[in-house]
Structure 1
Amino acid sequence: MASVPLTAGDPVRVGRYRLLARLGQGGMGRVYLGRSPGGRAVAVKVVRDALLRDEGFRRRFVREVEAARRVTGFFTAAVVDADPEGNPAWLATEYVPGLSLQDAVAQHGVWRQQAVRGLGAALAEALAAVHAADLVHRDLKPSNVLLAPDGPRVIDFGISAAAGDTALTETGVVIGTSGFIPPEQLRHEAAGTAGDVFALGAVLAYAATGTGPFGNGASHAVNYRVVHEDPDLRGLAPALADVVARCLAKDPGERPTVAWLLDELGHPDPAADDDRHARQGTPASDGGVATVGWMPGPVVDSATRLRAEVPTEPLPRAGDGTPEPPPAAAPPRSRRRRLRTALAAATALAVTVTGTVLWKVAASEDDAGPSSPPNVEQLWSHTLAEGQKLTVASEEMVYLQHEDRHEITALDVTDGSQRWARRVEVADVREDSDYLKDLGNGIEVTTVSGGLLYYGSSDHLYAVDADSGDYRWRYKDDSFHPAPIAVGDAAYAHMTAFFYVLDTRTGDELWDYAYDTNVSDDVAVTGDAVLVHSGKKLIAVDTRTHKEKWTHQAASDAETAPVVADGKVYFGTRDGALYAVDARSGDEVWRRNFEGELWDGRLGGGAGEPEVVDGTVYFENDGYVSAFDAGTGRPLWQKKQEAEELTAMTVVDGTVLVHDSEGYLSALDARSGKPSWREPLDVGGDADFRIVGNTVFIELNGRLTAYRAAT
């Protein structure tokens, strides 16, 4: 993993640790290389502000830090310091300079049987330490095994939870990485220490063959094989294959214990004949750190070299050799060059908090100036006040809110100039309501629709003119704060079990409708119907008669919002299918499955909302982008993206723009699906993201920056 220089938005010190470089980011925040006053290198993870505003998360974080401190053992990375209740909250762990098992196999090839057995014994000892602390790791995989000169370390207990803690085992949530997640966890059954044994077996198969025992490909396909098919262990020696097969048993009760594995793998196999292929370790020449005899020689050499290359001072900024950070608003192309010229040593880190750390440096052309216009061009950048944040955007304006100051600001999309800013009205908190006292009277902007900007405060919904900010009306919504959809003079405010319709001119309630069951938050409104999902059922409520108009029963629960275009309703379901339903009758027009017989809806990733443009339906599922003929459902093309998850997709001017979970923006040709370009946009930070047309808004490090994407 590459270290890169600190930027203007990064702290220079956290707690008592001086920060030297940025190592990457994960779902919980950024990770830095730091040094203690005494010179000890540590990995410091700083939790993102947005998470800390969630009191439930902060409590879980405090709990997991306490649990992580209990993990001790030679083959685990220790927590050395933490301030889980600080502002910001952070945690420091032992820094492990070395390459991951994943990188080691990619760079130096697969391991011989005795080396794999030695690795297995070390990992079993690490898991014994984790389990002794009443924890379950839940994400053991090759990238979470770091190889130092003195042996491996198991890192990232971040999605571990104390046994019996249900905070991370909500219905429908699967934690882990495809191919290493045990089948019982994929089936949403109880997952305990036996799940870690399953993952250990998959890791050993990876070390011996270079691939997981259930193959590669889309996550849903790998998950399907984990649940339904036998592992492929043909590349393993017989004795090792027997141990791995036991670990990979479908029934967790049939898997061996960690103690059995430690005893079985902790000594050489007399039948093995490949000891001569693994170089015996010798004392390192950089201070006497002993190497591990069973690790392949080239791996030990790489780990030793990386240990010597750990920086002791802040990394210099590319270009002038000074440690000061570059401007925060540097456009993506300049930023990509800065990353490429940063220190390229593949240092790895030990992190024991939530989230897998990801950092990907984009490959690019030489530093010579581009011969064509940039794919992503910065339009403007706006400094945000403390407490101010991005909320919603329209084609003309982007809106900021300051919750506590009760302020809303509108900026022009084209140049970032301020169109209006004002302190808006709020509802008084009733003294007789403990609930409202806890809720307070801050503001929450929910949406912009039909020329009105909506926000909630206390137990009221407010509407202001989106162009001027002028007050229009308020409605007592009992603190639910919906995001109304305006159609003509009616605003449809949708809740979990009902919706009500307001007059957009006065705020008066026109009528309401209560469902017989709870429904999803996703809703669509046509001229004569409100469309919403309840599990497998699509329900249409007639806006004229105020009665149920029709229902459509799908084969699986809905996964996306309904989208209406050209008289049809399009939506994706959990089993991977894309549906087209007649908007007038509810009759199914066509249905297309995502991956045919291989797809198992319980195991696949989530689908994104379809988009219909010029007679084509564009649909994203499990990292694939597909195009179908809107009238017939005929498949036109399908492309797998580099990232596992896509966070936004839009179609504009013959181009499909896709933003992914790694912080990249990509462009595909809308007719063929052929990739045009992929640029880093917000890979280096905890960013909030919006896209309207081909304008992209990024809130990062106290600035809001607008970019124009080439189409």
Structure 2
Amino acid sequence: MLEPRGRCPEFAGAAGRQGRGRRERWAVAAVPLTAGDPVKVGRYRLLARLGQGGMGRVYLGRSPAGRAVAVKVVRQALLWDEGFRRRFAREVEAARRVTGFCTAAVVDADPSGNPAWLATEYVPGLSLQEAVARHGVWPEQAVRGLGAALAEALAAVHAAGLVHRDLKPSNVLLAPDGPRVIDFGISLAADDTALTETGTVIGTPGFIPPEQLRHEGVGPAGDVFALGAVLAYAAAGVGPFGGGASQAVNYRVVHQSPDLRGLTPGLAAVVARCLAKDPGERPTVPWLLDELGRPEPAHGDRHPHRAAPAPDRGEEDDGGLATAGWMPGPVVESATRMRAEVPTEPMPRPEDTVPEVPTDDSPEPLPGTPPPARRRRLRTALATATALAVIVTGVVVWQVSADGGKDDSPPAAPANVRELWSRSLDEGQTMAMTAERTVYLENKDRHEISALSVADGSDRWARRVKISDVSEESDYVKNTVGDDIEITAVSGGLLYYGSGQYLYALDADSGDPLWKHMDDSFHPSPVVVGGAAYAHMNAFFYVLDPRTGRELWRHSFNGLTSDDASVTDDALLTYGKKKLIAVDTRTRKETWSYEADSEVETALVAAGGKVYFGTKDGALYAVDAASGDEVWRGTFEGELWDGRLGGGAGGPEVTDGNVYFENDGYVSAFDADTGRVLWRKKQKADEVTSLTAVDGTLLVHDSEGYLSALDAGNGRTRWREPVDVDDDADFGIVGNTVFVELDGRLTAYRAAT
């Protein structure tokens, strides 16, 4: 899976491409409080829930004087651990010492309370991660302005004797008056080694400095490394060490040079210094402040989307808020709009209001036709405004419409999503992969893999699997990669999992072990085609004999590519930024390349002699798989189409001579041969999170928490079932069978088509 592109992950298993409901999302939508949420914490009245993470939930609160704050409430289970309470109290005291223009200050806390909580300044703005996804990469002067602001924030952190240790795009919030660095929950005092466990690596792959991965200690120079990676992300839209499995990214950080091809020469020189492997060779924060804070050269061209120069911080502008002139204009506009939409009263709960009922199930008109009026949904008003780094993934709990309680009303119509079976999971057991006839579970710590029948949930097989012996390996393998197991793919009758430095293969039907292959901890997701298993990585792929695991041959690319690949009978197709590349699997040579107008953003889908894919500007392409010639492309204009992929589109669905594609909240159908638009449908939500074609029906899950069934022929809605958001749920879908994992239980549902 790509991390964190915001795209619905795709599985290439025995059942082909499948949607999966748990997805990394750019937007963290504020939602109304539920019955289980407090209405007041300390002296703060809570108005909405902003998100949920490993430590607890984050709420939007108001002080008695009306000041907006973000309140982080610690999970009750953690408070039973006295060691955690002491650690949390010390971290709160450390965070209180951080002050500065570009940090979100801690304003209040009660570490010994029940519950324990922490309140910070509320920043009504989008994260850098979302800003790049929605509005594109930043020009050099904007990146330099961002870098100077972040260096100022790090100077404040380091002056307090702290090290942030998790600076990344989602921890940078962009308010109308400039950025804020957030999440000091793991910003521990530099000399406070007692607060971390031996062997623990804190941070996010691609932004963790190599010395931390090697367990050589961490200091201010580690934050400089992360700053360089953040600036590269803002300028190129991807981290300098690519994406993919965390072990692979960490390996590249330690052993390979960063990819800075998307940066201007001047900016690349600064970022390269920040990303030096040796922390002693990196620049200091004061040097970065001086270098990045220089005024714009007189001959420099002003970027067309940049806002006007900002007044001094003390000058009033637009209601008393100074604007950051170096930030791209659309980013400032989004942040300003979000500031205006911050609620002052608790958000209404669904049960307190009459639900909005769709009144028009006809397809959306084509471009040029005025769009129908629609009510703004309050739920989306707070998008990503949060003052703590809480990673929230879009998740749902599927509801059967039948009510278990007694009711005197007439019987309800048959449910469109009915339960097939449900079973409890063992402690530590999670759903890892779904295929046509089997659901695979893994227990990483106990090194166990189990297979269940899709039809009735019964056990097919279960076994404790072999793991890699890392005791004699390097510190990187022992402490960072470890010997946990991770299922990576099911293809060609084989189940693949990684452990330590090896890729292992089992018989997918019986669980019998077959072979292992040294993969240097990369753990790819092989695809079996024509009696060969193609294991693709970011800069190369190798081909294995699926019967023995023996390597047959390998191919290296000139530069980094995506870790996504599509394999046909005679070619492997992959891409790097805008360029598609085809390798003939018979001659083992690259046969053609094709360059799109924008970066490729979706999985590649090969069907009917063509390869289909979506790009970052919202277009859908069809390219001849044999020659690399463009066959057609679909581009869209006007209010009916968002010309950005925003949260990211999933791969196209190709079936029965049609191509179905989702972009944000739209679903469209194209003639696969000509690209003619057959129909377009705007969903009621802002974003479609998965799209699956089955039996003349498109099953569409959206960001508002609904599952819809669309007629594949004309786009009309057949039914639309409401669902609840639950941050602890996970789901997968194969055909029209939906799997939900929640609270230690796995349940299968059948969706009507």
Normalised TM-score (structure 2): 0.57
Q: Kindly provide the amino acid, as one letter, of the partner of residue 531 in structure 1.
A: L
In structure 2, distance between residues paired with 1:602 and 1:371: 41
Structure 1 residue 173: Cα displacement: 5.4
- Paired position in structure 2 for 1:591: 633
Offset at 1:484?
A: 0.2
The code of the aligned residue for 2:721 comes to E
> RMSD value over aligned CA atoms?
5.6
Aligned counterpart in structure 2 of residue 256 of structure 1, from 311, 316, 324 = 311
Equivalent position amino acid for 1:483 in 2:
S
2:81 is the counterpart of 1:26? no
Paired residue type of 2:589: K
The answer to whether residue 3 in structure 2 is matched with residue 3 in structure 1 is no
In 2, Cα distance between equivalents of 1:586 and 1:443? 38
Picking from 602, 605, 617, the partner of 2:659 is: 617
* Paired amino acid for 1:138: L
- How has the CA–CA distance of structure 1 residues 5 and 632 changed in structure 2, closer, same or farther, with 3 Å as cutoff? same
**Other-structure match for 1:696:** 738
Corresponding residue of 2:533: 491
Query: In the alignment, which residue of structure 2 is the partner of 1:93?
Result: 119
* 1:422 corresponds to: 463
Distance in 1 separating the partners of 2:427 and 2:699: 31
Whether the aligned pair in 1 keeps the contact of 2:395 and 2:731 (CA below 8 Å) is no
The share of aligned pairs that are identical, in percent, is 52
Q: Does 1:81 align with 2:109?
A: yes
Q: 1:393 is matched with which residue?
A: 434
Supply the distance in 2 between the matched residues of 1:401 and 1:432 (Cα, whole angstroms): 24
Contact 1:541 1:550 in 2 (8 A): yes
- The alpha-carbon deviation at position 638 of structure 1 amounts to 1.3
Residues 137 and 396 (structure 1 numbering): CA distance in 2 closer, same or farther, change over 3 Å? closer
CA pair 79-347 structure 1, distance change in 2 beyond 3 A: farther
Partners in 1 of 2:411 and 2:121 — Cα distance?
Answer: 39
Higher relative contact order (CA 8 A, sep 6+): 2
Counterparts of 1:20 and 1:382, CA distance in 2: 39
Do residues 138 (structure 1) and 193 (structure 2) align? Answer: no
Q: Secondary structure at the match of 1:437?
A: helix
Match of 1:661 in 2: 703
Which runs of 5 or more residues in structure 1 are unaligned?
A: 35-40, 50-57, 102-129, 142-154, 175-186, 191-226, 229-249, 267-298, 319-343
Give the 3 Å change call, closer, same or farther, for CA 355–253 of structure 1 in structure 2.
farther
2:573 alignment partner, one of 526, 531, 542:
531
Question: Aligned equivalents of 2:184 and 2:619: distance in 1?
Answer: 30
C-alpha displacement of 1:498: 1.1
Shift of 1:629: 0.3
Give, as a single letter, the amino acid of the residue that structure 1 aligns with 2:493.
Answer: G
Corresponding residue for residue 179 of structure 1: none
CA-to-partner distance for each residue in 1:672-695, whole Å, 9 max, x for gaps? 112233333351323323111111
- Which runs of structure 2 are paired with 1:243-642 in the superposition (5 Å)? 251-252=306-307, 254-261=309-316, 352-354=387-389, 368=409, 371-438=412-479, 439-595=481-637, 606-642=648-684
Q: 1:585 to 1:346 in 2, by over 3 A?
A: closer
Alpha-carbon contact 1:156-1:353 (below 8 Å) kept:
no
Is the CA contact 1:45–1:351 (under 8 Å) kept in the aligned structure 2? no
Q: Is the 8 A contact 2:50 2:386 kept in 1?
A: no
Residue by residue over 1:275-301, the C-alpha shift from the partner in whole angstroms, topping out at 9 and shown as x without a partner, is xxxxxxxxxxxxxxxxxxxxxxxx9xx
Give the counterpart letter for 1:353 in structure 2: L
Q: Deviations over 1:94-150 (max 9, x none)?
A: 899xxx99xxxxxxxxxxxxxxxxxxxxxxxxxxxx999899752569xxxxxxxxx
Mark the CA change 1:596 to 1:433 in structure 2 (over 3 Å): closer, same or farther.
Answer: same
C-alpha displacement of 1:586: 1.7
Higher mean C-alpha displacement, 608-617 vs 645-654: 645-654
CA positional deviation for 1:517: 2.1
CA distance in 2, matches of 1:589, 1:510: 34
1:348–1:45: structure 2 CA closer, same or farther, 3 Å change rule? Answer: farther
Distance apart, 1:540 and its partner CA: 1.3
Residue pair 1:5, 1:22 contacting (<8 A) in 2 also: no
User: Using a 3 Å threshold, how does the CA distance of structure 1 residues 697 and 46 change in structure 2: closer, same or farther?
Assistant: farther
2:95 match: 66
State the aligned residue count: 512
Q: CA deviation at 1:407?
A: 0.3
Query: 1:547 deviation in Å?
Result: 1.3
Structure of larger gyration radius? 1
Unaligned segments of structure 2, at least 5 residues: 1-30, 62-68, 78-86, 126-152, 158-170, 188-222, 239-261, 267-302, 322-340, 353-377
**Conserved 8 A contact 1:139-1:159:** no
d(CA) in 2 for partners of 1:432, 1:594: 53
1:328 matched to which residue of 2? none
Per-residue deviation, residues 499-548 of structure 1 (Å, max 9, x unmatched):
11111111111211111222111101111111111222221111111112
Check whether the contact 1:450–1:487 (CA below 8 A) recurs between aligned residues: yes
Question: 1:66: how far off?
Answer: 2.4
8 Å CA contact retained: 1:79, 1:91:
no
Superposition deviation, residue 372 in structure 1 = 2.0
> 1-side partners of 2:577 and 2:50: how far apart?
35
Deviation of 1:437 (Å): 1.2
What CA deviation, in whole Å up to 9, does each residue of 1:350-374 have, x standing for no partner? Answer: 9631369999999999985664211
**1:237-282: per-residue Cα shift (whole Å, max 9, x none)?**
xxxxxxxxxxxxx65462334422179869xxxxxxxxxxxxxxxx
Q: Which moved more, 1:377-386 or 1:540-549?
A: 377-386
* Counterpart secondary structure, 2:315: helix
1:45–1:379 CA distance, 2 compared to 1 (3 A)? farther
- Distance (Å, rounded) in 1 between the aligned partners of 2:490 and 2:110: 41
CA contact (8 A) 1:64 1:353 kept: no
Query: 2: CA distance between counterparts of 1:442 and 1:360?
Result: 28
Whether the 8 Å CA contact 1:25–1:685 is kept in 2: the answer is no
Distance in structure 2 (CA, Å) of the matches to 1:665 and 1:360: 10
1:432/1:480 CA distance change after superposition, 3 Å: closer
CA positional deviation for 1:463: 0.6
Aligned partner of residue 704 in structure 1, secondary structure: strand
Query: Do the aligned residues in 2 keep the contact of 1:455 with 1:462 (CA within 8 Å)?
Result: yes
